[in-house]
Amino acid sequence: MRTKAVASAALLALVLTGCGAEIAPSGDGATASAHYPVTVSNCGTELTFKEKPARTVTNDVGITELMFALGLEDRMAGYVMPDDKGQVDKVAWKDAYQRAEWLSKDQITKETVLEARADLVFAGWHYGFDEGKGFTPQTLSGLGIGSYVLTESCRSGKGTERGVMGPLDALYTDLVNLGEIFDVRDRADRLVADFKARIAAVPEPAHRPDVFLYDSGEDKPYTSGRFAAPQEIIARAGGRNVMDDVADSWITVGWESVVQRAPEVIVISNYGTPDAEAKRKFLKSFPPLAGVPAVRNDRIFVLDYVDLVESPRNPAAITALAEYLRTVPAR
């Protein structure tokens, strides 16, 4: 890493006080206003910002688009995400993606954020933050860099499990917190109100099909428990997540549990390799699933990865899935 980047990062003030953090991003003073200091609660930690962050680095597509949805690309040093999760040419924030710098198509690292002279990193547990790789809010604080943790990924306090509130509440919480942190609360409130209205407009179903979310994995499937975004995407669309009794967000389960719960619909998360068509072929050719209603009746629906993680695309995903689930007859 460059000496200049390290020196710049060292000038950023982050003083930990008790269970909270007082964050003073580097800036030219132009962002000071009567709004600051402002304090928000993030995954049980109180974060106080003395001024508006000027050089935020985001990790992954859903997190990046939360910033874009609030018009905050001018407060970003850039974003980190692989090519296979972006689909940036298809979204309302195409111009924002072009204005913000794509810092890396690999994993986010300390070197990346130091090079970008970040004053704030917006990521999540397993959405960038990872103890095994030494990239955590604690390690960043030692470098003088603040952190905001994606609420969907909050640790529950029982171990490695994630999730402290319902997925849509997590989305709304992050939008409101970002509104306070960046002094755009009016934008955040309008966005939350719009999302709530769009979701409330989805008709109540006559029948709630059982739905399994298939992210990846052939030996064992990776799926959504109660606290990942698909839980409420499925529920608000008129279905029932067959793994809604698992008090975690993204989880690995056994195929036997999928077979036992006999989903009527499988939703595929589309990203990377294998793509959605390859995943569909696997599901339809995997012998243990042959008798599962969703496979037997070829009721397999595809949503993009970014639709299924906490992001501004969640309301549209609910609407799209709801239209599909209305075609599923009662057993």
Grouped pLDDT means (10 residues each) for the chain, 331 residues:
36 35 50 85 96 97 97 97 74 90 95 98 95 94 96 85 94 98 98 98 94 98 97 98 95 98 98 95 98 98 96 97 96 83
Of 166, 198, 230, the one marking the end of a domain is 198
Residues 184 and 77: their CA atoms lie apart, in Å, by 18
| 262 plus 117 within the same structural domain | no
Residues 9 and 314: their CA atoms lie apart, in Å, by 35
| 170 plus 231 within the same structural domain | no
Is the preceding omega at residue 37 within 30 degrees of 0, hence cis? yes
Of 150, 183, 198, the one marking the end of a domain is 198
| 186 plus 229 within the same structural domain | no
Residues 121 and 155: their CA atoms lie apart, in Å, by 18
Of the candidates 30, 80, 77, the residue with the CA atom closest to the CA atom of residue 52: 30
| 117 plus 210 within the same structural domain | no
Number of structural domains (the chain) is 2
DSSP 167: H
Of 198, 233, 250, the one marking the end of a domain is 198
Pair 69, 93: CB distance under 8 Å: yes
Tell me the two tokens of residue 248.
Answer: 């975690």
| 168 plus 252 within the same structural domain | no
Q: Tell me whether residue 289 is in a domain.
A: yes
Q: What is the pLDDT of residue 30?
A: 46
Domain that holds residue 274: 205-325
Tell me the two tokens of residue 208.
Answer: 């709630």
Q: What is the pLDDT of residue 24?
A: 52
Q: Tell me whether residue 331 is in a domain.
A: no
Q: What is the pLDDT of residue 12?
A: 36
Tell me the two tokens of residue 32.
Answer: 């000071």
| 18 plus 167 within the same structural domain | yes
Question: The pTM is what?
Answer: 0.89
Q: What is the pLDDT of residue 20?
A: 44
| 177 plus 225 within the same structural domain | no
Q: What is the pLDDT of residue 66?
A: 98
Residues 16 and 50: their CA atoms lie apart, in Å, by 13
Q: What is the pLDDT of residue 89?
A: 65
- Which CATH number belongs to the domain containing residue 258 in this structure? 3.40.50.1980
Of the candidates 83, 78, 62, the residue with the CA atom closest to the CA atom of residue 250: 62
